[in-house]
Structure 1
Amino acid sequence: MRQNLIYFLLSLPILIMLAWFYFDKRKVKQRELKRTRLRAQPLAPEYVHILQTEFALYARLPSDLQRTLAGHMQVFLDEKDILGRGDLEVTDTIRVLIAAQACLLILNRPGNYYPGFRSILVYPETYVANSTHNDGMLQVTATSTRAGESWQRGPVILAWDHVLQGARDSRDGHNVVMHEFAHKLDEENAAMDGLPLLPTAEQYQQWSEVLNAEFIVQQQKLAEGADDVIDSYGATSPAEFFAVVTETFFEKPHQLGHCHPKLYEQFKLCYLLDPKAWFEG
């Protein structure tokens, strides 16, 4: 009897692990079935109208990518909570434009719809945020106005006026939704360090070589005050470099490809897209 009890106690962790594996696998399967159903559903006509009138890049997409984007948006809107702050009422236009711009980054990328967080907080316009840092023995608190931010393993925060401007203007190289959701792709690889998950293992070495070299160039240009198609904010850290180049890749693809061809090729392999084709003609 005692020996049987010992055997049972020794095997209990294994039984628990097997049960957890079974139910987790079942949960994942159910989630993927639901996602498949959602992707097959057409967007509501009023949502399509919002895309056609307010999201400039949507009209440039080939029809097959428009359908893919619509399917990803259905999943995104089902799995993310978009919440108003500062008395902002969340409308269909707000939900559709945030979803569309965020899902553009994952059109062809294998992935899991920005895992690790659920909430997107939206302010009517640029908002004031506090930040703290240590200066020797002192802890210094500073305030700054922001158009968006992405908390690691936490929510995305956006200013609606910048979201709308980013959707309407597809050529200025600035898009707050793409920027903050690029950070979310970045953090899927454990740390927010400018290295997202790449489609194949072979890409990592070349990605590191090209981006490290280009980042050094941007730091030099920032120090010299020289202009570049890549916004100078990208030179502040590898994480910001990845997010800023993402904006440039989607909104100024020809300029990026001309000035930084190796960088453009790496981002084309990362996103499995070639936005140059969208702007021709």
Structure 2
Amino acid sequence: MPLLVLFGLAMLYIGWALSAPWRQRRRRERWAARPFPAAWRTVLRRRVPMFARLPPDLQLQLKRHMQVFLAEKAFIGCGGLRVTDEMRVVIAAQACLLLLNRAPDPFPTLRQILVYPGAFVVDRVRTEAGAVQREERQVLSGESWSQGQVVLSWQDTLAGAAIADDGRNVVIHEFAHQLDQEKGYASGAPYLDSARDYARWSRVLAAEYARLQQRGPGEPGLLSDYAATDPAEFFAVATEVFFEQGELLAQESPALYGELSRFYRVDPASWDGRRPVAPLAAPPAPGAGVF
């Protein structure tokens, strides 16, 4: 093959590769611009009461994000489950809450959502004192993997969607982990805009995390005891509460609410048309950051 032809083919390939982001953006724009199916609107009304709480502009945004999400992500039924459009829409609606007021780039490292009929069992190897390894079996409602997969229980997904203000939502929880894991591991600190943002995030969340760990077992509070497991779980649990009990979180932990509001670019405390929340308190003084 003549050298000139090889050079031309190489340049065509380079041009095609360099145009990949542009082509992806155009595809997403076309998906987002499609009419939202009437059957999907029915599912939102019946199964996702959180949708009705959103202001009209955010409802429109959510539907557009959902259309891109559903076009790009693969859903796989497990344990004999056949995935239906209703399942896909309910999961996408809750996951895409985390993408509001952002460019349509839905969870770039995520490839698949695995759905079980109910809670599923996983085997884990736990390292104890003295480097002793012990196998243990856990029953889970959801799990997020840094390799590009989220695993969900459909029963728990439905239950989490049905009550929009209890601060418990397995889809929001696991997709918060996905945002945290975009860098390859979960630490409780997702990608932020600047070093200054990271410093403030670390101060605020470390202080709130320490306060939670000092709370006695079973002592009442918005964040569950599970949030004290590690910084990654703290971020995921706090995200559930932020979206479902925003006004209460803003009152109880205004600095934490402020950080989550800046990161997620939404103000759930205002979604129910209540009076605006009090001004956000200043972040706590610098301390030992664990996020």
Using the size of structure 2 for normalisation, the TM-score is 0.86
Aligned amino acid, residue 93 of structure 1: E
Query: Which consecutive residues of structure 1, in runs of 5 or more, have no partner in the other structure?
Result: 1-15
> 1:213 maps to which residue?
207
Q: More helix per residue: 1 or 2?
A: 1
Query: Which aligned pairs between 1:1-281 and structure 2 lie closer than 5 A?
Result: 22-110=15-103, 112-135=105-128, 136-221=130-215, 223=216, 225-281=218-274
Aligned amino acid, residue 182 of structure 1: A
- How far the C-alpha of 1:225 sits from its partner, in A, is 4.2
Q: Distance in 1 between the 2:83 and 2:18 partners?
A: 35
Task: Provide Cα deviations, 1:63-118, integer angstroms capped at 9, x if missing partner.
Answer: 11111111111110111111111111111110000000000101113473112231
138-147 or 223-232, which deviates more: 223-232
Kept in 1: contact 2:78–2:116 (CA 8 A): yes
Taking every aligned residue pair, what percent have the same amino acid on both sides? Answer: 42
113-122 or 239-248, which deviates more: 113-122
- How far the C-alpha of 1:258 sits from its partner, in A, is 0.7
Q: Match of 1:143, SS?
A: strand
Query: Which consecutive residues of structure 2, in runs of 5 or more, have no partner in the other structure?
Result: 1-9, 275-291
Aligned amino acid, residue 151 of structure 1: W
- How far the C-alpha of 1:150 sits from its partner, in A, is 0.5
Aligned amino acid, residue 202 of structure 2: S
Aligned amino acid, residue 113 of structure 2: I
Aligned amino acid, residue 145 of structure 1: V
Kept in 1: contact 2:180–2:189 (CA 8 A): yes
Q: Distance in 1 between the 2:22 and 2:109 partners?
A: 18
- How far the C-alpha of 1:23 sits from its partner, in A, is 3.8
Runs ≥4 in structure 1, deviation > 4 angstroms? 18-22
Q: Distance in 2 between the 1:81 and 1:26 partners?
A: 24
Q: Distance in 2 between the 1:137 and 1:257 partners?
A: 42
Q: Distance in 2 between the 1:190 and 1:121 partners?
A: 20
Task: Provide Cα deviations, 1:107-131, integer angstroms capped at 9, x if missing partner.
Answer: 1134731122311100011111111
Kept in 2: contact 1:42–1:71 (CA 8 A): no
Q: Distance in 2 between the 1:207 and 1:19 partners?
A: 45
1:198–1:110 distance in 2 versus 1, CA, 3 Å: farther
Kept in 1: contact 2:172–2:240 (CA 8 A): yes
How many residue pairs get aligned? The number is 266
Kept in 1: contact 2:146–2:182 (CA 8 A): no
CA-atom RMSD in angstroms: 2.0
Q: Match of 2:249, SS?
A: helix
